[in-house]
A = this chain, B = another copy of it.
């Protein structure tokens, strides 16, 4: 399969126009020693064969159409209305570049402006950028921003924050003279007392995640207040769907709010691509990483959109940029904008309520199983942890047999938690599959 448009005759004529006898003439500058190799790759495939072969490969994956997914831990099997993909996958969005040429990119630019506005409404924050790679890297960039903005070097992170997010932050901060201090938890949420003790004049920021990795609700206002009291910034990492019911970070004093955008209209796709959203309060605007679209006018006075505040960015400021990010996750953010537009004010709340309802129905049902206990009795949104006193391998097998994916073994992340499982329950789960899940556990 090739996608070359020139014919052989074209090629001959073009070489003649260039004035070289053969193609190799164009490569004269490449040392001969570099050109002596054979690509050790298979021959190409026709579209028929390609589609067939990848369908075969795909059969070795267990997917959400055949299996009910109770896995979460940062990305969730939410329903994506068909319209989202239908619109976002239009060629005009998919095959255009970053909108540097404003006049040729008003569609993208307006949709970014609308995305920024929607995210600001959702989070009650002042400003949003056009997107980051994912929730974890957004949180890491937030920590970088806090360190840069405050001139301080410590970041306090509760152990209840998603373990992978903490690892990513560690990687991002590894070249800096920075320190990440882990704050312990009590009964599944941040130990506020320990946090307060750890605070001090060298703390750039405190991080809080809502809901936290265990699905439990943190006392975000308390954490924020403690941070502010110490002159530190407060960074909130939030699940966007939960904001249909939960207090938005802008209201409890977050200076920076970030999160994983996948739940907003993006398929799980084995973990990517999704996007991270990144918002700040006004004072931090000029330190925002990444792209921002603004509203202005054209020379005839018509409303027009354009990338702005570019003096923060690498292509203008090079080594003085606020971040090295260039390509972001625009198409994923577009999906989120379409999804939020479809969801609307009323739908957002309903979606959150459906998640709450299903998750609590599952919680209640599973706790009726002998040997199943709650990990914590604190309130949760759409995900919760259980202790399941069963042989892990037998449990896995039983779940698979019952066409269930998950729940997630906590010991993968917190080795000290034995027999702990994280159960995620979205609007996509049904009473039928919950019953299957329960039966699968009971059968072990």
Binding site for B on A (CB under 8 A): 47-48, 51-52, 55, 65, 79, 81-82, 90, 427-428, 430
Contact of A81 among B47, B55, B81 (CB under 8 A): B47
| Cα A48 to Cα B65 with chains together (Å) | 12
Contact of A427 among B48, B90, B427 (CB under 8 A): B48
Interface pairs (10), CB distance under 8 Å: A47-B79, A47-B81, A47-B82, A48-B79, A48-B427, A48-B428, A51-B82, A52-B430, A55-B65, A90-B90
**For A48, what are the chain B residues with a Cβ–Cβ distance below 8 Å?**
79, 427-428
| Cα A79 to Cα B55 with chains together (Å) | 15
Minimal Cβ-Cβ distance residue in B for A48: B79
Minimal Cβ-Cβ distance residue in B for A89: B86
| Cα A345 to Cα B55 with chains together (Å) | 30
Apart from A48-B428, A52-B430, 8 more pairs, CB < 8 Å? A47-B79, A47-B81, A47-B82, A48-B79, A48-B427, A51-B82, A55-B65, A90-B90
| Cα A82 to Cα B430 with chains together (Å) | 33
**For A90, what are the chain B residues with a Cβ–Cβ distance below 8 Å?**
90
CB distance from A3 to the nearest CB of B (A): 11
Minimal Cβ-Cβ distance residue in B for A47: B81
| Cα A51 to Cα B65 with chains together (Å) | 11
| Cα A438 to Cα B38 with chains together (Å) | 41
**For A79, what are the chain B residues with a Cβ–Cβ distance below 8 Å?**
47-48
Minimal Cβ-Cβ distance residue in B for A430: B52
Minimal Cβ-Cβ distance residue in B for A82: B47
**For A65, what are the chain B residues with a Cβ–Cβ distance below 8 Å?**
55
**For A428, what are the chain B residues with a Cβ–Cβ distance below 8 Å?**
48
Minimal Cβ-Cβ distance residue in B for A427: B48
CB distance from A10 to the nearest CB of B (A): 15
**For A52, what are the chain B residues with a Cβ–Cβ distance below 8 Å?**
430
3 A-B pairs with the lowest CB-CB distances in the bound complex, closest first: A48-B79, A47-B81, A48-B428
| Cα A430 to Cα B430 with chains together (Å) | 40
| Cα A430 to Cα B53 with chains together (Å) | 12
**For A47, what are the chain B residues with a Cβ–Cβ distance below 8 Å?**
79, 81-82
| Cα A226 to Cα B81 with chains together (Å) | 60
| Cα A257 to Cα B315 with chains together (Å) | 62
| Cα A428 to Cα B48 with chains together (Å) | 7
| Cα A65 to Cα B82 with chains together (Å) | 22
**For A430, what are the chain B residues with a Cβ–Cβ distance below 8 Å?**
52
**For A55, what are the chain B residues with a Cβ–Cβ distance below 8 Å?**
65
